[in-house]
Structure 1
Amino acid sequence: MKFLIGGMLTLVVAGGTFLYLGTARADEPSRAPASDAHGLVLGSAQEAQPETMTDFLTAVTKDVDAYWTKVFADNGLPEPRVTYQWIPAGQSAASACADSSTSGDDIAAYCSADDTISISEAFASRIYDGELDHALPGSSQGYGGTAGDFAVAYIVAHEYGHQIQDELGLFDQYGSQVPTSAFELQADCYAGTWAKSAYDENRLEDGDVQEALDAALAVGDFDASNPSHHGTPEERKAAWSTGFESGDPSACNTYLQAA
């Protein structure tokens, strides 16, 4: 994938470990994005590439933020704001959700209490390297798989989608009326609309769309009786496809209205 913008990071030393924090700002000065140390290549050979997973996660977040900033501006809404934190392997970070901390190497979450996206770098790296298929509910049963840069980008864009739901007041409006899966599928759909914008700008590379579809299948689950059910593999794939094929965030309203 090729990026339009980069961004700035604030480096904070917490408890003797390095915790990377930042706030998504579409108006920050552009900085060259990146290739991951695992061999991830973004953009052309002439472009500077990100050197770490931290850089890649930040570049994707900035790109998604730029898309939603434009969508909001076009609809007369104020610029969305979100804080992000990339958690080093084996470390934890403060969070206003759950037990007041985000820990473990399998974290990818949005906390509405403090408008923060938290993703563990180890989790993102394992997604990129295709090392989690045995552990994910969909792929462990033969649905899809996670590998590649756009599988990671799908995760980031999905979590940013929850921030959009929060900005639009959808949690307050529908929270007591719809199941968790409705919000999850809408976030998948939102991720698809961002991907379509990148596709229309000729910034996707061969295989990117398939990586996202495979990742959506891989993270789907079949435990519909669980209050935390996120949608079946096919439902999650269809939701992302709805966003990608329409390129219109309003097409994603159906997931809450139908529920």
Structure 2
Amino acid sequence: MKNIAKVLFIFLFTFFLAGWAHLENSASAAPQPNYVKDLPPGHSMHDYLLYLAKDLDAFWSPIMVGDGYADPATTYSFPAPGVPVKTNCAVEEPADFPAQAFYCGFDDQIVMTQEMARQLWDGTYRTNYEAPVTFKAGDFSVAFVMAHEYAHNLQTELGWLPVYEEEEPLATSRSLELNADCLAGVWTRSVNDRGLLDASDLNEAKRTLTDLGQDPSDPNPTHGTPQERSKAFLLGYNNGTAPSCDPYLLNPY
């Protein structure tokens, strides 16, 4: 469990005011671990989620450690259908809400239920009422959401996302979510640079951003509209570096 003391929190804020300016490593400069695009025969959704988790660790850890930050390696939980979600964060049980994906700072843990992954893969998970997109969902829809949640882990390591409610966040919820979309794009660029991404994968990520974006008329904009989320993702993907995502943290959204 992380324990971010106020003095450390303030230090990280001061040190990080320039954003990720010290993270000079480009996405393509990181080690190139194996990335599994589709479920191999005889492997489960749990296996696929674990492959993604290891790939994200292998990409972000040397970048963070190389620039003097803590290793962002985190823990994971991928509950099967009907299995309780056990964290110290307040979440609904699978019986009431079977599709869940979130980062719990109390436990330093990324949780994605296998039902959530299945619905993302099938294109049946939606949070808005826009007309369904025409292209199919697939494996990279799951990969994008995992990369987004891993980005929240990075934000916690860097002091932007507080663990405890009494700690004031250093950015709005919408800014943090769009920054996470952007950082997911940075990782996606690394997958492309390894020759493991094709046009259908990018379409899958775009579909997910469309499915999960908030209605523009929502009075409580915590995540961003489909257009805003797609723009953030493509900013990270096109630039391929974490500093390109700074504007979402340094300017209010």
TM-score norm. by structure 2 comes to 0.76
Counterpart Cα distance in 1 of 2:89 and 2:71: 24
Alignment CA distance shift 1:32-1:70 (3 Å): closer
Alignment-derived partner of residue 77 in structure 2: 85
Deviation of residue 172 (structure 1)? Answer: 4.0
What SS is found at the alignment partner of 1:94?
A: coil
Counterpart Cα distance in 1 of 2:50 and 2:238: 26
Which is bigger in relative contact order (C-alpha 8 A, separation at least 6)? 2
Counterpart Cα distance in 1 of 2:99 and 2:250: 31
Amino acid at match of 1:141: E
Alignment-derived partner of residue 110 in structure 1: 103
Alignment-derived partner of residue 142 in structure 1: 131
Matched-pair contact (CA < 8 Å) for 1:34–1:51? no
Alignment-derived partner of residue 161 in structure 1: 151
What SS is found at the alignment partner of 2:112?
A: strand
Amino acid at match of 1:149: D
Structure having the larger proportion of residues in strand: 1
RMSD between aligned alpha carbons?
2.5
Alignment CA distance shift 1:201-1:49 (3 Å): farther
Alignment CA distance shift 1:31-1:172 (3 Å): closer
Structure 1 unaligned blocks of 5 or more: 1-29, 37-47
Counterpart Cα distance in 1 of 2:244 and 2:35: 33
5 Å-filtered alignment, 1:1-259, equals 35-36=38-39, 51-98=43-90, 102-103=93-94, 104-132=97-125, 135-137=126-128, 140-142=129-131, 144=133, 147-172=137-162, 175-222=168-215, 224-226=218-220, 229-259=222-252
Counterpart Cα distance in 2 of 1:163 and 1:214: 24
Amino acid at match of 1:136: T
Amino acid at match of 2:127: L
Structure 2 unaligned blocks of 5 or more: 1-32
TM-score norm. by structure 1 comes to 0.75
Deviation of residue 198 (structure 1)? Answer: 1.1
Over residues 217-251 of structure 1, what are the superposed CA-to-partner deviations in whole Å (9 max), with x where a residue is unaligned? 21000254226x21111000001001100111011
Amino acid at match of 2:227: E
